[in-house]
Amino acid sequence: MIVQVHNLVKNYTLSSGKTLKALEIEHFEVKKGELVGLLGKSGSGKTTLLRILRGAERFDEGEVVIDGIRLTPESTRGDFRSVMEKTAIHLQRSFGLWSERVVENVIRALAYRRLGEEVLPDWDEVLYQELQEEAMKLLGIVDLKHKAECWAEILSGGEKQRLILARQLAKKPSILLLDEFGTMTCPETRRKAIETIRRVNQELGMTVLFSSHMPEIHRELASRVVLLDRGKIVDEGDAEEMISKFLRELEPPVMKKKRIGGEVVRLENVRKRYYVVPGGQTLDMKDVSFSIRRGEIVGFIGRSGSGKTVLARLISGLELPDEGVVMLRPERRWVDFSKFGKRSVEVRRKIGILHQEFALPFWAKVSELIAYKIRIKRESAVQEAMKKAEELGISESLFDAIYRLTDLPKEEAEIRLRRLGLPYGIIKELFPESSEDLSAIYPLLDRMNLPAEILERQSHELSGGEAVRLGIALASITKPKILILDEPFGDIDTVTLRKVANFLKEMNLRDRTTMIVVSHQHDLVKEIADRIFLVEDGRVQEV
């Protein structure tokens, strides 16, 4: 057996002082060369188990044996490091890459195996040529050879996942650990990912242990499925049998009812071009024109890298069109959202957005995140912020540019503020902390299948699925007129996903919220959407 687990117990001490029992596993084994799937609801312990098997997480009781190396709570740092040298892991929503070309990201990973650090040799060295040749072979395995010269940061989410897999394979691990790999990709890209993992398992003889909440991935890949619930292994066996047991808790879908009004979003002859490689190839969205009506749920589907996220960011005002106009009318009058000013600020206040690569501030308390979201969307707080901006000599247009950044992940907001010559602290100065009524969050937490005590946790104490559901709750808390969700469902298990889908349909009917949903999960989009648009090669057409 290449993996053995006996009487494993893992507890987390939360910032509130409470103890959370994450894992309690009596016995678990994996044979060399086996391909095993972990299935369970969000928070069931899948990621924690993978991190322990990786050697990246200490535990409280029991023992773990990885390829002959025995770990216990008393094991030295060197023992854990030895396990990490035999394993490789890709964690959910992890996109840590060098801001360089795709091939150079893999070359650095290969250099680490030889030199002990991720350095990039000079291009005219023999070592560089050797590593480049090996890197191209790995990119071929993950079907990214055609993207070798692209900058890593412009890859789609699915492409980034495959690049990370290539970097992990560069380490030549005995065991490959994958956490929700392929769940945020389009069906075509997901199929390629499944084929890649199967090829790695069969051709390289590599043991693969993966977690996924998507039944189809287990059906396609797993020779055996292990079912987890609340930190315990409750069953294991054939994929179909385990999937059937897992889906017993699936609630029926809420029937969608239409309350459609006039137009609230209109794009007219929009063009947006991105230079994505040194050679000058582009993603070119051109002549994009369509409208969305009040109370509609509109889905956008398409392959990874087709431009869906760009489209969502254009509608939300986070990207500006090179040509054409983006018009929004959350209430009575149309506003050209591609122009900065007071009117656009008022529109921004009525928009909720969840980004594909969103990240909650690591040490932030959940209750503080909710209070912040309420504060930046509260009308009186925005008016006070505009007065403060005027006192600081900040124009209405510059204030609008700053205000748009409050909907971005902290890291991206900081980068954009630096380009404006402003510190990140300007947002806190304009929107100082104040006490907010958090009572509206409790019914949202209930529909998101999140406990009320989560308010006392810090964001790093949430599982991946819990963080995403909290992100949806944060985007919804202020009852926005327009809600934009970019790949919000990738980390949510099938049972919980139905609850979230039902919540969105109920919110849409109750508040007439216009919703724009970007997702690779076509079945879900069909269930909730009134209309669906296909984004392909920068073009948008209704299907």
Binned at pLDDT 50, 70 and 90, residue 305 comes out as: confident
Lowest mean pLDDT among 370-374, 465-469, 517-521: 465-469
Residues 6+ apart with CB under 8 A from 64: 3, 4, 5, 6, 8, 52, 53, 70, 71, 72
What is the rounded (10 degree) CA torsion for 453, 456, 460, 463? 10
The tens digit of pLDDT for each residue in 64-76 reads 999 999 999 999 9
Average pLDDT in the 355-384 region?
Answer: 86
With b for 16 or more beta-carbon neighbours within 10 A and e for fewer, the 245-260 pattern comes to: bbeeeeeeebebeeee
DSSP string, 98-150: -SSBHHHHHHHHHHHHHHSS-----TTSHHHHHHHHHHHHHHHHTT-GGGTTS
Say what the pLDDT of residue 189 is: 75
Q: Distance between the two ends of the chain, CA-based, in angstroms?
A: 50
Mean pLDDT of the chain: 90
The number of CA neighbours under 13 Å toward the Cβ of 26 is 3
DSSP string, 468-528: HHHHHHHHHTT--SEEEEESTTTT--HHHHHHHHHHHHHHHHHH--EEEEE-S-HHHHHHH
Cβ neighbours of 24 (radius 10 Å):
18
Cβ neighbours of 280 (radius 10 Å):
7
Kind of pairing, strands 482-486 and 514-518? parallel
Say what the pLDDT of residue 92 is: 60
Lowest mean pLDDT among 179-188, 191-200, 283-292, 420-429: 179-188
On the question of pLDDT at 267 being above 50, the answer is: yes
In one-letter notation, the amino acid at residue 360 is L
CB 312 within 8 A of CB 408: no
Binned at pLDDT 50, 70 and 90, residue 359 comes out as: low
Binned at pLDDT 50, 70 and 90, residue 358 comes out as: low
> Which spans in 336-490 are helix H?
342-349, 366-377, 379-391, 396-404, 410-419, 425-430, 441-447, 464-476
The tens digit of pLDDT for each residue in 432-469 reads 988 888 998 999 998 888 889 899 999 888 887 888 88
Residues 6+ apart with CB under 8 A from 115: none
Say what the pLDDT of residue 411 is: 81
The tens digit of pLDDT for each residue in 23-60 reads 999 999 999 999 999 999 888 999 999 999 999 999 99
Say what the pLDDT of residue 357 is: 63
d(CA 170, CA 522): 33
Which is more confident, 337 or 256? 337
Which is more confident, 514 or 192? 514
Binned at pLDDT 50, 70 and 90, residue 279 comes out as: very low
The number of CA neighbours under 13 Å toward the Cβ of 522 is 11
Distances (CA, A) of 277 to 102, 139, 149: 10, 17, 6
The tens digit of pLDDT for each residue in 464-512 reads 788 888 989 999 999 999 999 998 777 788 888 898 899 999 999 999 9
pTM: 0.80
Which is more confident, 433 or 124? 433
**Which tokens hold the place of 247?**
């889906």
CB 351 within 8 A of CB 484: yes
Which is more confident, 237 or 115? 237
Say what the pLDDT of residue 282 is: 61
Say what the pLDDT of residue 371 is: 93
**Three-class secondary structure of residue 462 per DSSP:** coil
Binned at pLDDT 50, 70 and 90, residue 521 comes out as: confident
Any idea which residue has 């035999």 for tokens?
86
On the question of pLDDT at 91 being above 80, the answer is: no
d(CA 359, CA 500): 19
Which is more confident, 32 or 359? 32
Say what the pLDDT of residue 409 is: 81
d(CA 179, CA 359): 17
Domains of the chain, start order:
3-248 (3.40.50.300), 263-361+438-542 (3.40.50.300)
12 has which bridge partners?
A: 20
d(CA 84, CA 250): 37
Calculate the CA 540 to chain-centre distance. 23
